[in-house]
Structure 1
Amino acid sequence: MTATRTFDHVDTWVFDLDNTLYPHHVNLWQQVDQRIGEFVANWLKVSPDEARKIQKDYYRRYGTTMRGMMTEHGVRADDFLAYVHKIDHSPLEPNPAMGAAIARLPGRKLILTNGSVDHVDAVLARLGIAGHFHGVFDIIAAELTPKPAPETYQKFLALHAVDPMRAAMFEDLARNLVVPHELGMTTVLVAPDGTKEVVREDWELEGRGEPHVDHVTDDLTRFLQRLVKS
């Protein structure tokens, strides 16, 4: 059994956005999820139930529903992103404690997300932590190929000159940590804390015991606070 990777050597901290930098139970992504379903139903002219099946099938097979809709039906990314990210961000509350912990991490802090820069900006503004990040790599920077595609991580590493052997990745989906771990990154899975209902597919909550997951936390703020105090 290999030893669990630590953080002593890390100088680049890479964070997913949705359900990672804010708690799962906020269910902000549920709003996006609903908007995606509406887009699929309207574009394909199918019932909400049929659209839901197509949406989740594409999500699993292509990494994002958008990629499936582009590949299968010629949807333009700009149209899709503009529609699905028109949501109410007010459920998000400022988290100065997490911001302070992120600020104390040694080195650069980057965001790697399958969402758009506009969505990132809105979320970080609500959380009050926008000033702590040195860069964002979104779905446009990924040339519309989402995580967990290996080439997306390679593009991210190259664009931001990240040495994966000196980086850590925080994610809410275990499958998105497979490639980072293979590349040498220390991986952290951010899981629901179990105190409130979360709207997730069963498979999205799997994988916490897999070997590509070095650490698991249900409280990112507390996890980061412990890191910067150690």
Structure 2
Amino acid sequence: MKQFNKMLTKFTPLILFIVGCTPPAANLKPASTANVVAHLEEAAVSQVKGVQVIVQTDQWPGPQPIQNEVTPVRVVIDNKSETALRLRYNDFALIADDGTRYAALPLYRIVGSIPEPVIDTGYTAITEPHFVYHAFTVAPFYANIYPAMTAYRGTFAYDPFYYDTYNAYWINIPLPTQEMFKRALPEGVLDVGGRIEGYLYFERVSDDQSRVTFRADLSSAQSNRFFGEVRIPFNVQ
């Protein structure tokens, strides 16, 4: 017993160090300047050029606690503008007051050429997605992942550097889970009058931050023309 106690004493600092390496998850709450949504907890809304975006935090419904590795955010987008809206992960970010950018993470690895990208093999098709959509078509390279959904037939450019950079995020953590895949808001095109609600998974926000701003760049699917920017502030607790 004495020998065990000596060993425990010897390794206790190491154990505490390892545990201490994982800081507590940051909780995002709508800032006082945000337009809160009365019937939703921890939700705020903004509308720019006819595009309404609701952002809801701290509401992950999945069975696994993922908040220590990523920052999950529920997003509802209504397109009441005059143009179809392109939705790409690099159009979304959480921006801290010190300028740190927390990116929206792509869940899938894309291979192939830039003109004809495809999702890598080995992923399970999502036949029953756990997100809600209307008048939405998935990006062409997501067609095999969402076989029950219509794929966009026009040109849909993707940024290979963005995918290659942020796919590395998943290498050393046991994510994404199947529930994350099912609830993820996919890239694609939201037609005029369309609506989609699903989850974006951002790089884990540090609890050292005091505030972050959800930012969504709005671009036309047909022309790729940028026409607006949604900003919603959140306090970090």
* TM-score in terms of structure 2 length: 0.27
The structure showing larger relative contact order (alpha-carbon pairs under 8 Å, at least 6 residues apart) is 2
Q: Looking at secondary structure, tell me which structure has more helix per residue.
A: 1
